[in-house]
Amino acid sequence: MCGIVAYLGHRRAHEVILKGLKRLEYRGYDSAGIALLNGGLNIYKKKGKVSDLEQSLQGMSLDCNIGIGHTRWATHGEPNDVNAHPHYSGSKRLAIIHNGIIENYTALREDLVNKGHTFLSETDTEVLIHFIEDVQQRNNCSLVEAVRLALHSVIGAYAIVVLSLDEPNQLVAARKGSPLVIGVGKNEYFLASDATPIVEYTNEVVYLNDREIAVVNNDGLTIKTVEDIPTTPYIHTLELALEAIEKGGYDHFMLKEIFEQPRSIRDCMRGRLDAKSGRLVLGGIRDYVDAMANAERIIIVACGTSWHAGLVAEYLFEEFCRIPVEVEYASEFRYRNPIIRQGDVVIAVSQSGETADTLAAIELAKERGAIIIGVCNVVGSSIARASHAGSYTHAGPEIGVASTKAFTAQLTVLNMICLLIAQKRGTISQELFQKLLTDLEQVPARVEDILKLNDQIKVIAEEFKDVPNFLYLGRGYNFPVALEGALKLKEISYIHAEGYPAAEMKHGPIALIDENMPVVFIATRDSSYEKIVSNIQEVKARKGRVISIVTEGDDWIPNMSEFTIEIPMVHEALMPMLSVIPLQLLSYHIAVMRGCNVDQPRNLAKSVTVE
């Protein structure tokens, strides 16, 4: 979480930085700030959104060509003006922006306090910049050397950029555990948490590696490790288009991303799947298909929506590959001394590729001999780079904090991986393999059909927008969809919602049901159809308000439901890619009608780079 941007070049630094921070607001939006060398080292910062900061800067003379900026998701200290970044050093001759957490900041702070330092904020970041200055003064060295030496004593995660009044044409940056991308323009440099603030200026970028320090100044870009070993910057060419990170006429990124799904799912399959010829190729895991097919078990680690995609994959892999699968919350997995055997396959699912818990989980599994396969959306992200092999989801940038198109793209990739392994193991008939390829290829067109139900779903949203609670129930492949539907609603509308396996309802949630409780049943035609009909009757018998997602042509469940949404038929293994779409739209409309900030829900961040 937290987004950082820095600029050195010939443009007006504050303009580049503020625009970049707006692009990074998905990473946090508790406060924002910038530091500029505009006739002194000046910091301007404010609680609230980047637009609040921008407003407060109206009429000020900010012109200069170098600066740093930050948009915050609070970890240490409440969101207020003082805790906002950037932070000054003790002498106010250095300023820093930081994304991450300095775990040993209390010890560092104590030492500094004993030396007479006083701190204005409660942040770990202010401690870090005081510490860097202390190191610089003690060693009488350059800023870059002070940063390098200081980082030897720092435990935790960081992406930092430091600006100095005494070395005014230079930015010093470093990373460990939090992302940092450097855009290389013509005599100008852009540093940011991801490429979105950079893409409109240059498509040449360098991804800084962990424990590397970068310096940009009039002589160019140089990189060395914390151990003082110079490295050669490797320049990647970005394929990101500017339109992909703008709203394109939609009111919100979330709505745009929901409606993009036919395209994003197609993009995900492009060049990989051709049902007609029975062709299925995933270049990124080609050399690991044998290892996966021979695995005695597969462990899937993920968080949030990506964890829900992992749950669907459990059903898929067990059904078609006949390999036991465990799906783990990355945060639980990494802290409980898990049993991992040589040759176990760990699949990390992550939209951002930066989620700290998922990253730490795969590092642990890798140390213990597992093969790591990454399923990430962001190209070049930390998880993608820490994996032995992987398949990108190619959904394009997802900006709305609530994940939508990343989920369906993850399911697309996981389906393709599953089919490749099943084919290799001979656990799927050629006929079924072919049927699933054909159905998968048609998913984008079926999603298009479902998106046409948008107005119908709006009517349902209007009816339920003021309720305090919601229950989502599904069985089999639709159980993870129930979880995802509930998560979407609570994330963006702040209505309490729970997802449950429909059959578990009788062990608890049934007590909640009365004439005020809306219950969303994901009840498409599949192997547990009759069973879920009984669950609907149980809810009806207690006067619950039933909203059902059914397969087209169902003439039974609609009679038991107050509202019904009919979606097309596909093989049940692929149904989550369709059944989730109405739930995304339902939560979107309810949140808009409640006046909530859909793209930036309170307290959340899109990329959770803290533990």
Residue pointed to by tokens 């599904």: 474
268 is catalytic: no
Shortest Cβ 269–ligand G6P spacing (Å): 20
112 contacts 164 by C-beta, under 8 angstroms? no
What's the half-sphere exposure (Cβ side, CA atoms, 13 Å) at 541? 9
Shortest Cβ 36–ligand G6P spacing (Å): 31
Nearer to ligand G6P, 321 or 414 (CB): 414
What's the half-sphere exposure (Cβ side, CA atoms, 13 Å) at 550? 21
Q: How many CB atoms within 10 Å of residue 508? A: 10
437 contacts 574 by C-beta, under 8 angstroms? no
Residue pointed to by tokens 């783990």: 328
Shortest Cβ 406–ligand G6P spacing (Å): 6
524 contacts 573 by C-beta, under 8 angstroms? no
The residues with which 224 forms a beta bridge, in sequence order, are 213, 230
Shortest Cβ 448–ligand G6P spacing (Å): 24
User: Across the chain, which distance is largest between two alpha carbons, in Å?
Assistant: 81
Nearer to ligand G6P, 170 or 306 (CB): 306
Residue type, 263: R
Residue 495 phi/psi, 5-degree rounding, is -85, 135
Handedness of CA 136, 233, 376, 253 (dihedral sign): positive
Nearer to ligand G6P, 46 or 490 (CB): 490
133 contacts 92 by C-beta, under 8 angstroms? no
Beta-sheet pairing, 371-376 with 389-390: parallel
CA dist., res. 372 & res. 350, Å (int): 13
Query: Which residue is closest to ligand G6P by CB?
Result: 304
Nearer to ligand G6P, 133 or 257 (CB): 257
Nearer to ligand G6P, 31 or 377 (CB): 377
Shortest Cβ 383–ligand G6P spacing (Å): 7
Nearer to ligand G6P, 164 or 381 (CB): 381
Nearer to ligand G6P, 564 or 609 (CB): 609
Nearer to ligand G6P, 136 or 352 (CB): 352
321 is catalytic: no
Shortest Cβ 358–ligand G6P spacing (Å): 5
Does residue 86 have a cis bond before it (omega within 30 degrees)?
Answer: yes
DSSP 238: P
Interface positions with ligand G6P (CB under 6 A) = 303-306, 350-352, 355, 358, 401-403, 604, 606-608
Chain CA centroid to CA 492, Å: 15
State the DSSP H helix or E strand holding residue 150, giving kind and residue range, or none if neither.
helix 143-151
CA dist., res. 463 & res. 466, Å (int): 8
Catalytic residue among 45, 47, 488, 606: 606
Task: List the one residue out of 133, 24, 522 whose CA is nearest residue 308.
Answer: 522
Q: Indicate the SS3 state at residue 494.
A: coil
Residue/partner pairs of 435-440 with CB below 8 Å, 24 or more apart = 435/571, 436/571, 436/573, 436/574, 437/273, 437/275, 437/278, 437/280, 438/275, 439/570, 439/571, 439/574, 440/269, 440/273, 440/275, 440/412, 440/415, 440/416, 440/574
Shortest Cβ 63–ligand G6P spacing (Å): 37
Nearer to ligand G6P, 144 or 362 (CB): 362
Catalytic residue among 2, 303, 376, 596: 2
Nearer to ligand G6P, 492 or 533 (CB): 492
The residues with which 212 forms a beta bridge, in sequence order, are 175, 225
Residue 503 phi/psi, 5-degree rounding, is -75, -20
Q: How many CB atoms within 10 Å of residue 239? A: 11
Shortest Cβ 306–ligand G6P spacing (Å): 4
The residues with which 158 forms a beta bridge, in sequence order, are 100, 177
Shortest Cβ 28–ligand G6P spacing (Å): 11
SS3 content of the chain, % helix, strand, coil (to 5): 40, 25, 35
Shortest Cβ 342–ligand G6P spacing (Å): 26
Handedness of CA 343, 348, 353, 354 (dihedral sign): negative
Task: State the catalytic residues.
Answer: 2, 606
